[in-house]
């Protein structure tokens, strides 16, 4: 008899969200994921849980690297984002090595600001699209 995964329905729901999301929504999801894992990293550092803090910070860094990899370098603004994402990645590595929650807080503030700006831009674009 197979044991049923109680999270299978939730996982399928999340997968459907990702598959149906626009590129703008996917970017927002990535920012939210990075914020989630940075927060977890801070909590686990505070709890002195080295392995879990490492895992959370690595997941946040993987998301930042994904954001960086998907930049369209045909646009000048992407060069600025590339530098910013590289900085975030460097700081996340430092935070992980040092198990330093203050570094994570620094990155968290900047990623949160980017996320909030992105979300606001999405809302403005949506209003402009509806106004046509």
Other C-beta atoms within 10 Å of 30: how many? 19
Q: How far apart are CA 55 and CA 28, in angstroms?
A: 22
Whether the CB-CB separation of 34 and 84 falls below 8 Å is answered with no
Structure tokens at 77: 């603004």
Supply the pLDDT for residue 13: 47
Number of domains in the chain: 1
Low-confidence residues in the chain, pLDDT < 50: 10, 13
Supply the pLDDT for residue 86: 98
Supply the pLDDT for residue 130: 75
CATH number at residue 87: 1.20.120.340
Supply the pLDDT for residue 117: 97
Q: Is residue 90 part of a domain?
A: yes
The pTM (predicted TM-score) of the whole model is 0.85
Q: Is residue 120 part of a domain?
A: yes
Supply the pLDDT for residue 7: 59
């Amino acid at each position: 008899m197979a044991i049923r995964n109680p999270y299978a329905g939730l996982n399928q729901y999340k997968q459907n969200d990702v598959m149906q999301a626009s590129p703008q929504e996917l970017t927002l999801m990535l920012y939210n994921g990075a914020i989630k894992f940075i927060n977890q990293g801070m909590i686990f550092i505070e709890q002195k849980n080295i392995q879990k803090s490492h895992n959370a910070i690595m997941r946040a860094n993987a998301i930042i690297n994904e954001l960086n990899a998907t930049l369209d370098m045909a646009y000048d603004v992407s060069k600025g984002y590339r530098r910013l994402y590289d900085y975030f990645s460097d700081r996340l590595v430092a935070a992980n090595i040092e198990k330093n929650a203050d570094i994570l807080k620094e990155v968290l503030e900047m990623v949160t600001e980017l996320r909030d700006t992105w979300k606001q831009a999405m809302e403005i674009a949506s209003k402009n699209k509806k106004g046509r």
